[in-house]
Homo-oligomer: A and B are copies of this chain.
Amino acid sequence: MKKLINAPDNVVTDALAGLAAAHPSLRVDLENKVIVRGDAPRPGKVGLVSGGGSGHEPLHGGFVGYGMLDAACAGEVFTSPVPDQMLAATQAVNGGAGVLHIVKNYTGDILNFQMAAELADDEDIEVVSVVVNDDVAVQDSLYTAGRRGVGATVFVEKIAGALAEEGAPLADVAAVAREVNERSRSFGVALTSCTIPAVGKPTFELAEAEIELGIGIHGEPGRERTTITSAHDLTGTVLDAIGADMPLSGDLLVMVNGMGGTPLLEQYILFNEVQQYLQAHGARVARNLVGNYITSLDMQGFSVTVTQLTDTLTRLWDAPVDTPGLRWGR
């Protein structure tokens, strides 16, 4: 394993120190591994807190700032943070209007955020949790852990953050977060495995020309292994899977996301195919993101996330945002 690190056990704190140095407008608590907006808590504003395992940068810490998250907690690589961190973040952003927890649907994240919510409740901080579960690669079911939360998390954080910035109450912010999640679907593909620093070797092995369809952002295996095809065919497979679960029509917000090791050149090639597929299916890509937004360390691969827009969601998407990872309008 060749990595640009000091020691596997220090990657998260070292990276957070770098984030703090690069973005003085953020407050980074290295002890609790919590990234907070410089001006938090904002009295009367609903606080948005998310977090999860590290290794998905810029998610979540890179989305803290005006119009998006108020705080993020960073766990160890691919391991959800602990309740203490989440409580510290919740306290730091509580402006009296309550706090929204945006939780990706993984057992670890669910359980730890649940405990954190109880701790916050003990301190009379009103907390509502919204669970993101947009990954169609996983069959949903009442009896399983259900679908994984992936790309839609970026959209939920941006759109709910915009509404909170407008001063909306906690119930409305939670409602729009749920709405975005319900209107979003994602599917990921891996060309190579990621390598977790503490493990030192790839999580899985793929043969030359072999790819994993439905890969998870932690390198969890997906639907099946198959042989790589053209960007055109691969995009078709991905969008067929998404379309089988949600009608692809009307105005869409679409993200082509790089997993961390895939060049932007290839991501634009993929986006071209996605745009043509959706156009051919009578939908319109009204808004888009192309780049590395929710990654899996050094994995080569991509994911596509599609959200059915409404006029309100489009307006909130267009609203100004100023974070290390997403910025426009100011």
Contacts and interface: CB of A to CB of B under 8 A. Distances in A.
A247 interface: no
Count of chain copies: 2
A268 B18 contact: yes
B208 A2 contact: yes
Nearest to A4: B266
Given A14-B272, A271-B21, A272-B17, A2 B228 contact: yes
Contacts of A54: 265
Contacts of A272: 14-15, 17-18, 21
A270 interface: yes
Contact of A263 (B22, B57, B211, B232): B57
A112 interface: no
Contacts of A285: 21
B290 A18 contact: yes
Given A4-B191, A269-B11, A269-B18, A62 B261 contact: no
Contact of A22 (B191, B230, B271): B271
A55 interface: yes
A326 to B, nearest CB: 10
Nearest to A261: B261
Interface string A1-38: 01111110001001111110110000000000000000
A173 to B, nearest CB: 26
Interface in A278-304: 285, 288, 290, 292, 295, 297-298, 300, 302
Contacts of A15: 265-266, 268-269, 272
A7 B269 CA distance: 11
27 contacts: A2-B209, A4-B231, A4-B266, A4-B269, A4-B302, A5-B230, A5-B266, A6-B269, A7-B230, A14-B268, A15-B268, A18-B271, A18-B272, A18-B275, A18-B290, A21-B272, A22-B290, A54-B265, A57-B265, A260-B261, A261-B261, A261-B263, A261-B300, A262-B298, A263-B298, A322-B328, A330-B330
